[in-house]
Amino acid sequence: MNPHTNSKKQILSRIENAFRVTDSQLNDLVLGFNEEMKAGLDITNRATKSSELKMIPSYVTGYPTGNEKGTYLALEISGVDIYVCQVKLKGEGGKLAINQYQYKIPDNLTAGDDIGVLIDYVADCVADFQQRVGTHKQTVYSMAISIGFAVLQTGLDKGIIIALEHGFEFPNVIGCDAVDLFDRRFRAKGLAVKIVAIANDGVCTLLAHAYQHPSTRIGVIHSAGTNCAYYDKMSNIGQFRDVEHQEHDMIINTEWCNIGSRHLPKTEFDALLDQQSNNPGIHSFEKMTTGMYLGEITRQVLVHLINEKVLSFDLDQEEDDECLLLLPYQFDTSYMYVCEADVDDLEDTRLVLEDMCRVGETTLEDRKIVKKVCELVGHRAALLLGASIASVVKYMVEYGIGIDDDQGFAIAISGDVYKDYPSFHPRVCEAIKDLIPEQVASKLSVGIVQHSRIVGAAIVAMMAEKMDQQDTVMD
């Protein structure tokens, strides 16, 4: 046998072993994640026991039935995109109609001394939207907002802005209540809108699915980032143990992107990516599983294989034809979908490598190796996501939350990676099934949610109105 061929096999075998996740490692992750959940919920021990999970109360209690009716608004600010949505809930087991419009924030409104200028522009967008869809001027519509700023939520309609993201710079806004800021400017503009809630992405995914599938108990968003929300008993949540109505269930936002490396099977490529990131040492789970990073992990492996002469790419290109594979984050995660789904002579993989990445001419053997690397990185990500969901399920089984429902137990998942990566869904489902008791797995269903964030935000507004009515009755 050719010594070089033998060496190539050994190198590829090492890569394969590095990305293989054993049953023992998955079970350790489930156990570690479970412990982090409990530590994050127990505020009495926070001085001595820290948790990598924030376990933030959403202040949303109760469950949608699918029979609620009404018209609700949602506002989402994602980067420089503004989405305004009207959702008409028709009841009848979860029927609804959606009107949505998108606006862009001009560059000159992303920074300044007064964020009121930006909010006034957002208010103008909402007014334009209401005119387009023909809302009734005599009706005040309940609205939930989902904004791309870091918010410390202290109530359903209360949240302090603690940091701005996505290039926004308004120093005067830090420490202000987000709902109060928007509500005051909206009223000054004469909008027939009342902001009743702040909506989180995981909570929105859960509720968007729950309105049509009332047995939904977990919501996961998995795209460029990742998060999970689930229903918990208020008696399990440290800060609510001494309040009334402990028998209620509340949605908890785990912020599980913070799970760190001590619970995860990291490789040298993960360590390199983390070291070169703008937030080294944190968000390991996000870096090993999401669309923001999967393509970059794959690229790091491919560059290693080029340096080891396992791949025969010709990287000595003209300056105008520079090989993009050598540049960070130039192997998009969507390329992995294409390569994994490719068959026969792997023509689509050839186009990705030669046309998109400019690696020069490729052989069929090269393309097979690239496809295999994509499979390894993608499969590991799906297993880690599945194990994390399984941990939440096992926690809920332990405390008897939703498991005994006659309708079963539904998990809602949204996000481009989950929706567009063909192999992701079956791999995640398989991992969940393998890691939870068989009698629970038989009751479980996993649904992929469309329009989750904006529709879910409108349903948060409905739930806020419903909770307010219930509180009025109790008083």
pLDDT tens, per residue, the chain with 475 residues: 455 666 999 999 999 999 999 999 999 999 999 999 999 998 765 545 567 888 989 999 999 999 999 999 999 988 889 999 999 999 999 999 999 999 999 999 999 888 999 999 999 999 999 999 887 766 899 999 988 777 888 899 999 998 886 678 898 889 999 999 999 999 999 999 999 999 888 999 999 999 999 999 999 999 988 999 999 999 898 877 666 656 689 999 998 988 877 889 999 999 999 999 988 998 999 999 999 999 999 999 999 999 999 999 877 666 667 889 999 999 999 999 999 999 999 999 999 999 999 999 999 999 999 999 999 999 999 999 999 999 999 999 999 887 766 678 899 999 999 999 999 999 999 999 999 999 999 999 999 998 778 899 999 999 999 887 766 544 4
Residue 348: CB atoms within 10 A of its CB come to 17
CA 185 to chain centroid, in Å, comes to 30
pLDDT of residue 207: 96
pLDDT of residue 475: 45
pLDDT of residue 1: 45
Beta pairing partners, 253: 56, 229
Q: How far is CA 206 from CA 46, 230, 252, 415, 455, in A?
A: 28, 8, 11, 13, 11
pLDDT of residue 171: 86
According to the CATH classification, is domain 67-199 in 3.30.420.40? Answer: yes
Per domain, the residue ranges of the chain are: 6-66+200-475, 67-199
According to the CATH classification, is domain 6-66+200-475 in 3.40.50.2300? Answer: no
C-alpha 312/C-alpha 365 separation (Å) is: 9
- Output b/e per residue, 417-436; b: 16+ Cβ within 10 A: bbbebebbeebbbebbbebb
- List the Cα angle 191/208/465 in 5-degree steps: 45
Q: Is the pTM value of this prediction over 0.75?
A: yes
pLDDT of residue 453: 84
